[in-house]
């Protein structure tokens, strides 16, 4: 072969290295079963390893805080149901405690015990849902069915007390909507006993299950320093070994009278978070049983009031001004008016007339009660805390749930701000998934127990 002038003796050869690294972007959610339709994670992958992650929220913005400024203080209570809608009672009670702090009032002792009982039952339902759903996402469908069965026992208790299963609106500023129904203690103890049995069954299925443990151990690790820096609280923080719990650190209601332990982990991984939540359910059952044992008695039997009137008779007598003996009668109200009736009122409501709606018998039976009701519900009247601000934290199922309320002296809040526990955890989520496999995103995200209603208010 003849070479022409200018030809190069050596041909330049381009060799593509087989070791060249190439990454790809993967969208996880929002249209993904594990992302609840409201979280979008953009991950960069090298093979199946996550090298970076960008977590986006904002698909369920509820304008909770702005809506609270539009009406009287008690009007915000149904909105709080929709924050963490898996344990709504804790939200109700936390908000009411913040407003009560502004007003300088305190709920009756019986109401405080009932608030503790209902909060702890809610905490158990929340943890049951979290662990059950997370286990199902890892293939343990039987565990999910067991957990939901246990949750159903507790939902039946909640429904009997509040009249609803999920959006319960049970708390009121100064107390509660109504007292516990007849036979509640026996039914509650039975439900707790059945729940305890199911917890033991689930522990037997999962605690030494090699597949389950291997999928969670040393995955989604967060250090104490990072957890504290991001403001993480609750089971997530306690899994790193920090024993911070609002019920112990800043006791409220009657938690300082009850004996319970704070479960903590060591490694800050998904497995420790599972263990912490499981043990917390045992502690919540323990707290509830103590509160039931110590629950102060209330004069709630109809016999204490002597004569029983029908609602129609009460209204007819009130129209004629014959209300002299209404203080000593029991009125048989129909279901639309049943609620904080006279026999329950003093046990579950503050006696401060600035705060407490009168019993139905007084509202419909005498002019003083009607005027008191009018002043508390009409526009421009209502609850009027003095000018000031208050922050009140409670221990939610996911951590510190705080309500910051500002009053300008009017009948509606000037500003309401909620500190949702899962927002801080979601802020740190990217640190826990980077370096893990793409398959580990789902169990790590499940351990956050993200609730969209409180994540983006």
- What one-character DSSP code corresponds to residue 69? T
> Which of the residue ranges 106-115, 216-225, 315-324 would you say has the lowest mean pLDDT?
315-324
Regarding predicted confidence, which is higher, 442 or 343? Answer: 442
Share of the chain above pLDDT 70, in %: 91
Q: What is the pLDDT of residue 341?
A: 73
Residue 135 contacts residue 143 (beta carbons within 8 Å) = yes
Separation in Å, CA 370 to CA 149, 328, 335, 346, 378: 45, 18, 20, 18, 12
Question: Which pLDDT tens digit goes with each residue over 145-165?
Answer: 999 999 999 999 999 999 898
Quick one: pLDDT band at residue 194, thresholds 50, 70, 90?
Answer: very high
- Nearest CA to 70 among 455, 454, 410? 410
The continuous run of DSSP H or E covering 373 comes out as helix 367-377
User: Under 8 Å CB-to-CB from 6, ≥6 apart: which residues?
Assistant: none
User: What mean pLDDT value characterizes the chain?
Assistant: 88
User: What gap in Å lies between CA 162 and CA 179, rounded to an integer?
Assistant: 9
154 or 316, greater pLDDT? 154
Cis omega (within 30 of 0) for bond into 382: no
CATH homologous superfamily for the domain 64-173+180-297+384-417: Cytochrome-c3 Hydrogenase, chain B (1.10.645.10)
Q: Which residues pair with 185 in a beta bridge?
A: none
3-state helix, strand, coil in the chain (%, to 5): 50, 10, 40
In whole angstroms, what is the distance from residue 132 CA to residue 142 CA?
Answer: 9
Asked if the model's pLDDT at residue 123 lies above 80, the reply is: yes
Q: How many CA atoms lie within 13 A of 362 on its CB side?
A: 20
DSSP-derived secondary structure for 110-160: HHHHHHHHHHHHHHHHHHHHHHHHHHHHTT-HHHHHHHHHHHHHHHHHHHH
What Cα–Cα distance (Å) separates residue 148 from each residue in 42, 95, 154, 202, 419?
A: 31, 28, 10, 12, 28
pLDDT value, residue 2: 41
- pTM for the complete prediction? 0.88
With bands split at pLDDT 50, 70 and 90, how would you rate the model's confidence at 269?
Answer: very high
The domain spans of the chain are 64-173+180-297+384-417, 302-377
Residue 108 has pLDDT above 80, yes or no: yes
List, in order, residues 6 or more apart from 109 with CB less than 8 Å away.
254, 296
Q: How confident is the model at residue 347 (pLDDT cuts 50, 70, 90)?
A: confident
Write the pLDDT tens digit of every residue in 196-241: 999 999 999 999 999 999 999 999 999 999 999 999 999 999 999 9
DSSP codes joined into one string, 49-65: EEEEEEEE--SS---HH
Cα angle at 67 between 66 and 70, to 5 degrees?
100
At residue 16, the pLDDT reads 45
Categorize the per-residue pLDDT at 305 as very low, low, confident or very high, splitting at 50, 70 and 90.
low
CA–CA separation, 88 vs 167, rounded Å? Answer: 7
Which tens digit of pLDDT belongs to each residue from 377-410? 888 888 899 999 999 999 999 999 999 999 999 9
334 vs 107, which has greater pLDDT?
107
**Structure letter (DSSP) for residue 11:** -
Residue 89 to residue 106: CA distance in whole angstroms? 18
pLDDT for residue 378: 87
pLDDT given for residue 19 in this prediction: 57
Provide the pLDDT for residue 351: 85
Instruction: Look up residue 271 and give its two tokens.
Output: 């497995």
How far apart are alpha carbons 189 and 390 in whole angstroms?
A: 36
**Mean pLDDT to the nearest integer, 352-359:** 87
How far apart CA 47 and CA 53 sit, in angstroms, is 15
Q: How far is CA 452 from CA 230, 421, 448, in A?
A: 19, 11, 12
Which range has highest mean pLDDT (18-22, 27-31, 60-64, 206-210)? 206-210
């Amino acid at each position: 072969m003849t070479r022409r002038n200018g030809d190069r003796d050596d041909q330049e050869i381009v060799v593509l290295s087989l070791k060249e690294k190439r990454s790809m972007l993967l969208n996880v959610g929002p249209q993904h079963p594990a992302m609840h339709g409201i979280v979008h994670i953009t991950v960069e992958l090298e093979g199946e390893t996550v090298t970076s992650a960008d977590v986006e929220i904002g698909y369920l913005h509820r304008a909770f805080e702005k809506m609270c400024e539009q009406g009287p203080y008690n009007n915000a209570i149904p909105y709080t149901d929709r924050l963490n809608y898996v344990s709504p009672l804790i939200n109700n009670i936390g908000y009411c405690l913040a407003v009560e702090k502004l007003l300088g009032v305190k709920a009756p002792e019986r109401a405080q015990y009932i608030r503790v009982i209902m909060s702890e039952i809610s905490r158990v339902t929340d943890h049951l849902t979290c662990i059950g759903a997370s286990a199902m996402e890892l293939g343990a469908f039987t565990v999910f069915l067991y957990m939901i069965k246990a949750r159903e026992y507790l939902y039946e208790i909640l429904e009997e007390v509040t009249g609803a299963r999920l959006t319960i609106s049970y708390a009121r500023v100064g107390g509660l909507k109504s007292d516990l129904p007849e036979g509640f203690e026996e039914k509650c103890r039975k439900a707790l006993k059945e729940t305890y049995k199911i917890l033991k069954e689930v522990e037997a299925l999962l605690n030494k299950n090699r597949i389950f443990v291997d999928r969670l151990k040393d995955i989604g690790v967060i250090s104490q320093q990072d957890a504290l820096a991001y403001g993480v609280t609750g089971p997530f923080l306690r899994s790193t070994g920090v024993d911070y719990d609002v019920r112990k650190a800043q006791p409220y209601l009657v938690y300082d009278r009850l004996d319970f332990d704070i479960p903590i982990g060591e490694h800050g991984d998904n497995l420790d978070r599972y263990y912490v939540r499981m043990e917390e359910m045992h502690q919540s059952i323990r707290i509830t049983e103590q509160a039931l044992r110590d629950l102060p008695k209330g004069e709630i039997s109809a016999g204490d009031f002597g004569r029983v009137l029908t609602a129609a008779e009460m209204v007819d007598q009130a129209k004629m001004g014959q209300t002299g003996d209404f203080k000593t009668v029991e009125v048989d109200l129909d279901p639309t008016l049943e609620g904080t009736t006279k026999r329950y009122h003093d046990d579950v409501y503050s006696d401060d007339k600035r705060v407490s709606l009168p019993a139905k018998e007084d509202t419909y039976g005498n002019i003083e009660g009607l005027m008191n009701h009018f002043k508390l519900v009409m526009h421009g009247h209502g609850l009027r805390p003095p000018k000031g601000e208050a922050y009140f934290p409670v221990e939610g199922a996911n951590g510190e749930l705080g309500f910051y309320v500002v009053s300008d002296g009017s009948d509606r809040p000037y500003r309401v701000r909620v500190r949702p526990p899962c927002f801080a955890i979601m802020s740190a989520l990217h640190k826990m998934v980077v370096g893990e496999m793409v398959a580990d995103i789902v169990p790590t995200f499940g351990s956050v127990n993200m609730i969209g209603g409180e994540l983006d208010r």
